[in-house]
Amino acid sequence: MGWDRATPFIIDLQVGAEDIDGLGHANNAVYVTWLERCAWRHSQRLGLDLVEYRRLDRAMAVVRHEIDYLAAAYEEDELQLATWIVDWDQRLKMTRHFQLKRPSDNTTLLRAQTTFVCIELSTGKPKRMPAEFIEGYGPALQVLT
């Protein structure tokens, strides 16, 4: 479908009535929710879910979202949201890219980048990634070209 990068992790979305704002299109805050959902599902696919985060006393927490809203989504639109892990230092930080498309007309509605930092859940403070994060997230890394 013409994704920005090879081998994306993709989730399917449908715009519901609750996603629509007073201007008649999906509210910008809803897009952030979709980014979070996609990142979580990808992490779960990689074996890093909330149970594992709690066991390890670590989590990847958002420190920055950069979002380019390119076109509007409307009620009942069928969408696909893709993500890629594109950068990480194997210590504290990781970056994901996202692309949201409407397959019916192949329009890209959004491109985003989210930066995460590894934190210790018990303190909320930055803490080095455990080996399980390196092993889980590492194979999903796609080097920018």
Q: Which domain holds residue 75?
A: 9-140
3-state secondary structure of 57: coil
Q: Specify if 135 maps to a domain.
A: yes
Overall domain count for the chain = 1
Q: Specify if 3 maps to a domain.
A: no
Q: How many helices (H) and strands (E) does the chain have?
A: 3, 5
Tens-place pLDDT, residues 12-42:
999 999 999 999 999 999 999 999 999 999 9
pTM of the model: 0.94
pLDDT at 143: 76
Tens-place pLDDT, residues 87-145:
999 999 999 999 999 999 999 999 999 999 999 999 999 999 999 999 999 999 987 65
3-state secondary structure of 61: strand
Tens-place pLDDT, residues 69-86:
999 999 999 999 999 999
CB atoms near residue 73 (< 10 Å): 25
Q: Specify if 63 maps to a domain.
A: yes
Return the CATH number at 63: 3.10.129.10
Q: Specify if 124 maps to a domain.
A: yes
